[in-house]
Structure 1
Amino acid sequence: MLATLLIAIFAVATVYFFLIRTKPKALPPGTQLPDGPPRKPLVGNLLDLPPFHSWLKFHEWQKQYGPLYRLDLAGRTNIIVSSEEIANDLLRERGNIYSSREQLPMGAQLLSDNLRPVLLPYGDTWRKVRKLMHNLTNVTMASSYEPVQEEESIRAIQDLIREPKEYEKWFHRFSAGLILRLAYSKPINTGEEDYVKRIMQVNTHLERIASPGSYLVDTFPILMHLPTGLAPFKREGNALHAEELDLFSSLLDEGTKASEGQAEPNFCGKWNAEKEAYGLSKDHVAYAVGTLFEAGAGTTQAAMQNFMLAMTLHLEEFHKLQQEVDEVVGPNRLPLISDMPNLPRVRAVAKEVMRWRPVSAGGLPHQLTKDDVYILDGKKIFLEAGANIHPVQWSIHREPKRYPDPDSFRPERWLDPDWPTYREPLTQYPNLQNFSSFGHGRRICPGQHIAERSLYILIARIAWCCDLSHTEEASGKPIVPPSYDYVAGFNICPTLSVYRAARADTHADPSETLFVRIEGATRPICYT
């Protein structure tokens, strides 16, 4: 009886809450709201969104409503940004009011207990955490990590050649192993270590819980007032948070201890040496270091799988890549990160992969903390405090004016003066620094410099060691993978494993999904 009464009270309160939250706000004189698709009572546009790959729907809408339009998601205002210029104008140039995050109950509060950096609101705590993460991953520090990246990439290439069917596993072990060594001095040997499985499980839970529409409480925050006995989402969130905090805290302790006496301290040791200067709680530090793994491991793996798909679909581009690497490096040694100024096509392919198939295709919304007005096409567009400003990378990377022939994979757009994205000198450009694939403004990914080097060295070494070709049916007909068949979630990557690699001419067994061969006599992949 009590439970029924409570549910009835909450139903009434929820309707009242919606009426208050959706009440129109008076606009400043001469301004107007952004255009957008028609909204339904109470739910707005919530039911118009697909359950996954929402960026495709966003891209469809921007063709009708322009590069800045408005959605109502059950009373929550989302401003969709589909232009790099607008994204930079708002999120970078006006970053003091466009850098917060909506505090969704399930992800930010229950799962993360207001500790996870990517979900922290803009303020003093976020700035302190950001300072720590920047000091661990800035361009100067990233340069010092290059020997570890080169070492881990050798393992990845060796295993790719030895067991090519498991290429996803080797990309994951590279990215995860790199961050775990840098952060905690913990090597990965098999990828089956208990702490690796626990961290990957944390990532899986975060992607599931933070995905839009996953939990009713994010749409109806009033449900947070339900007692825990009537709120299974609270019990789930609290239990998962306890697991996260235990994992990140124990890793911080182990990493701090492992760093003692090291000539080059790990992330934990670097923090411990100056912890008073940061003024952060141990829990905040544990999450800051732990979520650098979250940000780095899955994204690098997904980007490399996107690279494999791009090269399989565009074998002529892979051959051009091989030619450049062979001309610059030669046959007797592996490419090094120090070779990158002389390998513009390697950098162009990496950047085009990130543009063509952005890992975080849907982007991550920023929250506006103060009313603002943006002038677009001579119109004064009113943007209300509390709105989520949502830069959709899929659309931003497909602006025809900036990226002609946007759906095609064209590395030449970064190398040929006839393209609008071309910049000189080619010893420096193209590069991934401050590229919109890593986010915008003050919320840009702090690990971008490490990620950039990881992509370059893996791409260059795969081009140096391997050939890629399509698998074949029993009849000998090539199997060409679909251009877009992607998993659901934050970080997107292809669902199919239909690649085959071989450096020498071979006749592949049609039963093999993936096959690799190396010319060992002329391609030494070990060095001291």
Structure 2
Amino acid sequence: MTPVPLFLIVLVALVALEHVRRRRARLPKGTRWLPGPPGLPFIGRVWDIPRQHSYKKFKAWSDQYGPIYQMNIFGEHHVWLASDKIAKDLLVTRSGVYSDRPMIKNLEDNVNTFADVWRRQRRFVHQTMAKSTSMKHLNLPYIEAKKYLAELMDSPSDYQYLMEKYTGRVISRLAFGDVRHYAEVTTNSHALLGAISPAANLSNIIPQLRLLPMWLSPWKKSERARHDREREFFVRMYTLAKSDYDNGTLKESYMSQFFEGKEKSGADDIEGAYIIGMIGLAGILTTASAFMTYILAICLHPEWQEKVQKELDEVCGDRMPEPSDSPKLPVLRAVIKEIIRWRPVTPSSIPHETVEDDIYDGYFIPKGSQVHPNQWAITRETSVYPDPETFNPQRWLDPSFPSYQEPLTQYPSIKNFTTFGYGRRICMGMDLVEDELLVGIGGMAWACNIRKKRDENGREIPVSATDYSSLLISRPKQMDFDLTPRDTKRGQLVKFNYAKALETAEIIRDSSY
């Protein structure tokens, strides 16, 4: 092993001592630092943070140190929140202080986003999603569900691909007015997920690695290539849509809304390409993850499939569920909400960053702190969710549970749930996600029976409730299960619905323009 140069040891020691000195010097009078796990100066407690499922370790520390605690990681100040109340106190009530995002070290062209540009972009996205909601998302979640169900029943072993294909087709049509690009949107979405996930890139954990020159950094090389591919895709989508818009052939979409309001928005062409492009990338993997968790949950708890099917039979009869059925489907909505509580889509959450110093309950939170509303911990607050590790949709339907809300025509609802974030950084696509999950999961329950696979001796093959990926967007790993039509009539109806949608051009073939 090559010995570490003495000057490097001295340099690290001096940096660490300076970090401690500054930390002590800036504590305002009458305040105190948050509790947290002790660690070495500058590097903190990094040896105890697992690369896989680190959110579970952060939850364990919140059990030990309280619902808000701090930790230093390679010279950066991190604060973890394990309480929905505290998250709302800070990230919603004080959103002006907590609405920045920390720079993701592995991304190129990172800039501080809490500025006029970000506000302008957010205003446009808010207006776009509000209009999409008012237009019921062009009914695309329901229309595309017909194709999804037909393909799923033909090839259930391809369920992960088909779930991404469903969400990809919906967002491709909504964002670009063109279904052909769903595969490229999905590919770029996976690439971005790898770029921003701490478990995928060491440079996202150790910020100092960004100082390495390109020729010494495999992370920078990989990110440069990904960034160039993404930019080329966004610009190409923008150029195609602009040509269709100028010719009067662009379909109603987020792109068409951008062109109609471009002068008023103040955004240029590249900014517009990125705004719409990023909406597209954000709208695929998260929703598909919830679909996959539904398969797992129903294999483990088949009694809830029966309850949802009974409700669907009473409300929908011989037709697929539609978004307008939602007020009459509280059991289905309870299953959907419990899915994203039991296995949060982004369990470690995406952090906020403070733009100025703050004091909360006597604790000092300095400017530049990365604040993590740990979804895994928040969705396991025992005072709100008794027996939190158990998949139990009844907690949303029974008045004896703290999470119960009325009226059941409106609740349970996934809107504004912790899964979508907090404050000015909350996801603005909640209405679309709600529609996709209602008709997609509802459609599966209406048409199919899902159960554990059996071996040649008829014994059920066990499935793991905890075998999940460790990237920022978490999903259950590929599993075997049996999926069959509930009866011959429903199987025929699924095929008929798909064929009719093709005939009437509701469903657009992948190869069509």
TM-score (norm 1): 0.87
- Check whether the contact 1:184–1:256 (CA below 8 A) recurs between aligned residues: no
1:462 Cα deviation (Å)? 1.0
Q: Deviations over 1:186-206 (max 9, x none)?
A: 224xxxxxx555433432332
What is the identity, as a one-letter code, of the residue corresponding to 2:38?
P
Q: How far did residue 99 of structure 1 move? A: 0.6
Given the alignment, which residue of 137, 140, 155 partners 2:129? 137
Query: Is the contact made by 2:78 and 2:371 (CA closer than 8 Å) also made in structure 1?
Result: yes
Contact 2:337 2:414 (8 Å CA) reproduced: yes
Task: Please say if residues 447 and 491 of structure 2, whose CA atoms lie closer than 8 Å, have aligned partners that are also in contact.
Answer: no
Answer whether contact 2:177 2:250 (CA < 8 A) is retained.
no
User: Take 1:339 and 1:437, find their aligned partners in 2: how far apart are those partners?
Assistant: 24
Tell me what 1:276 maps to: 263
SS in structure 2 of the partner of residue 97 of structure 1 = helix
C-alpha contact 1:146 1:337 (8 A) present in aligned 2? no
CA-based RMSD: 2.5
Q: Which residue of 1 aligns with 2:289?
A: 302
For residues 330 and 458 of structure 2, the distance between their equivalents in structure 1, rounded to whole angstroms, comes to 35
Q: Aligned residue for 1:431?
A: 413
Question: Is the CA contact 1:466–1:518 (under 8 Å) kept in the aligned structure 2?
Answer: no
Tell whether 2:66 aligns with 1:74. no
For 2:12 and 2:104, locate their aligned partners in 1 and report how far apart those are by CA, in whole Å: 16
**Structure 2 counterpart of 1:459, one-letter code:** I
Q: Does 1:359 align with 2:355?
A: no
Conserved? CA contact 1:14–1:220, under 8 Å: no
In structure 2, the partner of 1:291 is 278
Range that drifts further, 518-527 or 200-209? 518-527
Contact 1:146 1:453 in 2 (8 A): no
Alpha-carbon contact 2:250-2:256 (below 8 Å) kept: no
Aligned to 1:443: 425
Aligned partners of 1:34 and 1:381 also within 8 Å: yes
- Residue 162 (1) aligns with residue 154 (2): yes
Q: Which moved more, 1:255-264 or 1:487-496?
A: 255-264
Partners of 2:332 and 2:481 lie apart in 1 by 20
Pick from 17, 20, 34 the counterpart of residue 18 of structure 2.
20
| SS of equivalent to 1:289 | helix
Q: Report if aligned partners of 1:334, 1:525 keep a CA contact under 8 Å in 2.
A: no
Q: Equivalent of 2:192, from 192, 199, 206?
A: 206
Q: In 1, are the aligned partners of 2:145 and 2:439 still within 8 Å (CA)?
A: yes
Distance 1:142 1:483, change over 3 A: farther
Q: How far did residue 41 of structure 1 move? A: 3.6
* One-letter code aligned to 1:210: I
Conserved 8 A contact 2:466-2:476: yes
- Matched-pair contact (CA < 8 Å) for 2:197–2:204: no
Report the CA distance shift for 1:211/1:21 in structure 2 as closer, same or farther (over 3 A).
Answer: farther
Secondary structure of the 1:472 match is: coil
Structure 1 residue 52: Cα displacement: 1.7
User: In structure 2, what is the Cα distance between the partners aligned to 1:261 and 1:8?
Assistant: 69
Distance change in 2, residues 1:310/1:229 (3 Å): closer
Change (3 A) 1:518 1:369: farther
Determine if contact 2:20/2:41 at 8 Å carries over to the other structure. no
The aligned residue for residue 51 of structure 2 is: 51
TM-score normalised to the size of structure 2? Answer: 0.90
Matching residue's letter, 1:302 = S
Structure 2 residue runs without a partner (length 5+) = 502-513
What's the counterpart of residue 327 of structure 2?
Answer: 341
Residue 106 in structure 1 maps to residue 106 in structure 2: yes
Structure 1 residues 22, 298: closer, same or farther in 2, change over 3 A? farther
Aligned to 2:301: 314
After TM superposition, give the deviation of residue 157 of structure 1 in Å: 0.5
Alpha-carbon shift at residue 37 of structure 1 (Å): 1.0
Shift of 1:241: 1.7
Partner in structure 1 of residue 252 of structure 2: 265
Contact 2:177 2:251 in 1 (8 A): no
- Structure 1 residues 326, 35: CA separation in 2 closer, same or farther (over 3 Å shift)? same
Letter in 2 for 1:134: H
Partner secondary structure for residue 69 of structure 2: strand
Matched residues in 1 for 2:145 and 2:217: separation? 46
Q: Could you tell me how far apart the structure 2 residues matched to 1:206 and 1:21 are?
A: 32
- What's the offset of the Cα at 1:184? 1.2
- Does residue 370 of structure 1 match 2:368? no
**Aligned counterpart, 2:509:** none
Larger mean CA deviation between 39-48 and 20-29 belongs to 20-29
